[in-house]
Amino acid sequence: MASHASALKAHRQSVVRREKNRQFRSKLRSALKTIRAAISANELDKARGQVAETASLIDKMSAKGIIHDNAAARYKSRIQLGLNKASAPGA
């Protein structure tokens, strides 16, 4: 365990940051799951409404360093790809 004041403070800060990051990641996973479920259930209007909101959340997390920039791009790309594939004629 840390034994001096600056190390104790750093530990307290890391605990708070870790919890916030966990909450953000959980929120992201829930949003992605909701969109995927809407796409697979063919509720495309609902999915389209959530895309902008989820993309904003992804961008915020990327900017804060919670997820990697490439991971953010991948999430957004796959969401849009799934939506485009589902809304294509004959799909």
**Predicted pLDDT at 20:** 95
Each residue's pLDDT tens digit, 48-70: 999 999 999 999 999 999 999 99
Q: Confidence band (pLDDT; 50, 70, 90) for 30?
A: very high
**Predicted pLDDT at 91:** 56
How far apart are alpha carbons 76 and 34 in whole angstroms?
14
Q: Rounded mean pLDDT of 17-39?
A: 95
* Domains within the chain, CATH numbers bracketed: 5-87 (1.20.58.110)
**Predicted pLDDT at 69:** 97
